[in-house]
Copies of this chain bind each other. A is one copy, B any other.
């Protein structure tokens, strides 16, 4: 399978057609060429890039980070340190978010536990927020 239309490429990489077209529009992963009828034509290599982007997005990297990582993915002479730096940054983001969620969960679960959850109006949740 040398050339694929967009729906086949989308199928192969596990992304919606719309998203593949969007990635092409923003110049993240472009179709290597167009057919005579104007259809985008994808090949195995571009599908690999799309898969790379999908996985990278699933890790919560932003599209711009994906672009950067894709550049490093493509660059056979990259330094692993460059990749590691971006990943560490992302890891720090995740840890910040985790701390935030843990604190939130702590407070909210306390409040939920202390709320009777009956027909009466008294509610420590509302009291805490107000």
Residues of A near any B CB (own CB < 8 A): 48, 51-52, 55-56, 59-60, 69, 72-73, 75-81, 83-85, 87-88, 90-91, 94-95, 97-98, 101-102, 104-105, 107-109, 111-112, 115-123, 125-126, 128-130
Among candidates B48, B87, B102, B117, residue contacting A108 with C-beta atoms closer than 8 Å: B87
- The smallest beta-carbon distance between A39 and chain B, in angstroms, is 27
Contact indicator A125/B87 (Cβ below 8 Å): yes
Contact indicator A126/B83 (Cβ below 8 Å): yes
7 A-B pairs closest in CB distance: A80-B123, A84-B117, A81-B117, A84-B115, A79-B119, A83-B123, A55-B129
A73 to B97, CA, bound (A): 28
Contact indicator B130/A112 (Cβ below 8 Å): no
Residue of chain B at shortest CB distance from A77: B121
Among candidates B55, B80, B116, B126, residue contacting A115 with C-beta atoms closer than 8 Å: B80
